[in-house]
């Protein structure tokens, strides 16, 4: 029986609340819940939030850092070359072992939803089978959504049949990478083909789109148009969209209207975008991130992704979505109080919308999935990236840790916790 009471916590708006979870669902939220004989947590005035959600990740490559060698240049192209070498030696057991470890890190960080792309452009679908197994194995602890991703290009790698087979096997979302096709026209045609496939099958779409510094990489325009033409509004996401940092303002003013019309979800990946983009620049050097503040101001749903953790493209990370949001607010110049709160939403409620997660949130009737952090509010969470004191899934504690305090001696001993 997944019943739990959480007392003395602070919500997003700094209200002091108790939360009663019954049968894995939030039954009551109020200032003081009168109930006994049920397991309790005393949050001691700390911040409670729905869990973190990562709407863009690559679980088939995660934790493979150093295999078969290290990406010395840190570039996208060397990472792609490395991945090509690594794929030849991949085994299902190795993929599952690394993915399983990553999922445990995710739980410890309070990340309980992951949309992972899985490469379908090779000679077999071993990685698809492996991650479907992990999805089923971890279903009681976190939500995993898989994207059929033609990483080497749908037409470049001639892998449309593989992608269709992956969907038949149980992969959830149609993926694509139009900017990696051989020509602009092939890229546009791949967007059309994949959106039509998703419409026919009633599936969501998530495309790597315009992950480039090239201002003429404009496949998101085609993606928005196909979304509207096929009636897919609200079901399609454009990931990366970094070419927008190179586009002129006049073209962007036209483009943003198309994105709004299509109700397109936007998924920047701040850590990897600013690492990989701008590599052809000396100075001035482009920042590498799509136009996040402008997209949010236009009313688009913007969700940040982690993308990579210790793989051929990125040598760091522990799947902490607060690290992602922390980087984003700096690069996007979003250090105003309300802007920072929006960055917190971009790793919680916004990606939940991208993934169409049911019953997500901190409201009566939502799933009893919560994270209690050692801080007082969402902005402090971004500042400190603090310990997740409790991670709760359907009313059960699946991860916990003690509060961190530092013993300081400046003539007398005292404990300091860094909370403002």
Q: Which residues are identified as catalytic?
A: 211
How many Cα atoms within 13 Å fall on the side-chain side of residue 242? 24
For residues 133 and 135, what is the distance between their CA atoms, to the nearest angstrom? Answer: 5
Residue 206 to residues 70, 151, 354, 417, Cα–Cα distance (Å): 29, 13, 9, 41
> Which residue bears the tokens 């971009």?
346
Tokens of 310: 């210790």
Q: List Cβ neighbours of 322 (8 Å cut-off, separation of 6 or more).
A: 52, 109, 347, 381, 382, 385
Q: Please name the residue that has the structure tokens 């919560």.
A: 370
Query: Could you tell me which residues are beta bridge partners of residue 148?
Result: 118, 174
- Cα angle 350, 50, 42 (rounded to 5 degrees) comes to 160
- Please enumerate in sequence order all residues whose Cβ is within 8 A of that of 60, keeping only pairs 6 or more positions apart, or say none: 90, 95, 99, 116, 117, 118, 119, 127, 130, 131
Look at the block and give the residue holding tokens 């546009």. Answer: 188
Cβ contacts of 158 within 8 Å, gap of 6 or more: none
Provide the pairing of β-strand 143-149 with 111-119: parallel
Structure tokens at 261: 């019309």
Residue holding tokens 């470049």? Answer: 156
């Amino acid at each position: 029986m997944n019943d739990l009471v959480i007392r003395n916590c602070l919500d997003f708006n700094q209200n002091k609340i108790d939360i009663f979870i019954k049968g894995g669902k939030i039954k009551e939220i109020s200032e003081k819940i009168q109930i006994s004989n049920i397991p309790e947590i005393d949050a001691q005035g700390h911040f409670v939030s729905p869990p973190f959600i990562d709407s863009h990740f690559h679980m088939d490559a995660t934790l493979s850092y150093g295999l078969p060698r290290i990406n010395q240049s840190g570039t996208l192209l060397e990472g792609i070359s490395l991945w090509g070498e690594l794929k030849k030696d991949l085994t299902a057991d190795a993929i599952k072992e690394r993915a399983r470890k990553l999922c445990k890190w995710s739980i410890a960080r309070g990340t309980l939803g992951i949309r992972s792309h899985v490469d379908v452009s090779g000679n077999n679908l071993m990685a698809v089978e492996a991650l479907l197994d992990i999805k089923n194995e971890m279903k009681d602890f976190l939500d995993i959504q898989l994207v059929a991703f033609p990483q080497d290009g749908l037409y470049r790698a001639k892998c449309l049949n593989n992608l269709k087979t992956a969907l038949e096997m149980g992969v959830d979302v149609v993926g694509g990478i139009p900017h990696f096709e051989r020509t602009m026209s092939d890229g546009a045609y791949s967007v059309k083909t994949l959106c039509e496939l998703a419409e026919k099958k009633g599936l969501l779409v998530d495309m790597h789109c315009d992950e480039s510094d090239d201002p003429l990489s404009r496949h998101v325009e085609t993606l928005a148009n196909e979304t509207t033409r096929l009636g897919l509004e609200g079901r399609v996401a454009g990931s990366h969209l970094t070419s927008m940092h190179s586009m002129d303002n006049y073209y962007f003013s036209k483009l943003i209207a198309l994105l709004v019309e299509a109700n397109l979800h936007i998924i920047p990946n701040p850590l990897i975008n600013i690492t990989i983009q701008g590599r052809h620049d000396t100075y001035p050097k482009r920042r590498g991130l799509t136009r996040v503040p402008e997209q949010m101001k236009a009313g688009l749903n913007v969700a940040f992704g982690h993308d990579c953790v210790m793989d051929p493209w990125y040598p760091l990370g522990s799947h902490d979505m607060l690290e992602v949001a922390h980087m984003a607010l700096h690069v996007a110049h979003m250090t105003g109080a309300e802007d920072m709160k929006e960055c917190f939403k971009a790793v919680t409620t916004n990606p939940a919308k991208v993934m169409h997660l049911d019953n997500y949130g901190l409201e009566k009737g939502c799933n009893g999935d919560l994270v209690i952090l050692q801080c007082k509010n969402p902005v402090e969470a971004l500042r400190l990236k603090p310990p997740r004191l409790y991670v709760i899934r359907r009313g059960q504690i699946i991860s916990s840790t003690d509060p961190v305090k530092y013993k300081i001696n400046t003539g007398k001993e005292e404990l300091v916790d860094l909370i403002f």
